[in-house]
Amino acid sequence: MSENESQRRANLAAKLLNLSQSQLEWVKGVIDQFQLPHLYERNQNSDLVSNDVLERLGDALRIHHAFSRQALSKDRFEFALERALKLCGIPAALAASRTNRGHDITIGSTRVSLKTEAANDIRRDAIHVSKWMELGRGEWRLDLLLDIFLQHLKGYDRIFTLRRLERDRLRLKHIRYF
């Protein structure tokens, strides 16, 4: 452990001394979550998500589940990914508007659309993106919908999906994302 890391730990320990009993209980919940076994795996061919980014995003998921049984929502996924990238020194910026019809985040110069899925009947071998169903609000003509869809795809370069595939219903601490 470096001297800088040792000093950071000492500073953090000193801050714990000033917390109330209630605050300590919340912090303990996060620490307990970090003590659980975990496994982070990434596509080794990814040019946007490094092992460091994956570790920080995985830890953000663990913190989330220290406080919630619900799957990570899209807005929290956006924030966690942006922060994980920035902590790793990778330029990242969320889209200026939450109602942007294109990308959600820019990583370097790559525009990325982020999707989440956590349905009870989620299938490992199929991805369902309900947002694209909203493209056809008008007349349901297949040729027109296809044109709208293809135009929509020009608003980003990549799509990332965060999918909660399964969870141990008896022990809610065992949750799997893909």
Encode pLDDT of 143-163 as tens digits.
777 787 788 888 899 989 888
Whether 172 shows a pLDDT value over 60: the answer reads no
- Mean pLDDT, range 84-106, rounded to an integer: 88
pLDDT: which is higher, 51 or 137: 51
Kindly report, residue by residue over 26-47, the tens digit of the pLDDT: 999 999 999 988 888 888 999 9
Q: How confident is the model at residue 83 (pLDDT cuts 50, 70, 90)?
A: very high
Distance from C-alpha of 152 to C-alpha of 159, rounded to nearest angstrom? 12
Q: Output the pLDDT for position 2.
A: 81
Q: How confident is the model at residue 49 (pLDDT cuts 50, 70, 90)?
A: very high
- Mean pLDDT, range 98-112, rounded to an integer: 86
Distance from C-alpha of 29 to C-alpha of 168, rounded to nearest angstrom? 19
Q: Which residue from 120, 117, 150, 144 is spatially nearest to 131, judged by alpha carbons?
A: 117
Q: Output the pLDDT for position 134.
A: 60
Lowest mean pLDDT among 29-43, 47-61, 98-112, 131-145: 131-145
Whether 169 shows a pLDDT value over 90: the answer reads no
Kindly report, residue by residue over 113-123, the tens digit of the pLDDT: 998 888 777 77
User: Could you tell me the residue ranges of all domains in the chain?
Assistant: 1-37, 38-165
DSSP structure string for the chain:
--HHHHHHHHHHHHHHTT--HHHHHHHHHHHHHHHS-------TT-SS--HHHHHHHHHHHHHHHHH-SSPPPHHHHHHHHHHHHHHTT--EEE-S-TT-SS-SEEETTEEEEEEEE--TT--TT----GGGGGGG-S---HHHHHHHHHHHHTT-SEEEEEEEEEE-SSSTT-EEE-
Q: How confident is the model at residue 173 (pLDDT cuts 50, 70, 90)?
A: low
Share of the chain above pLDDT 90, in %: 47
Whether 127 shows a pLDDT value over 90: the answer reads no
- Mean pLDDT, range 15-25, rounded to an integer: 96
Angle between helices 74-87 and 51-67 (to 10 degrees): 140
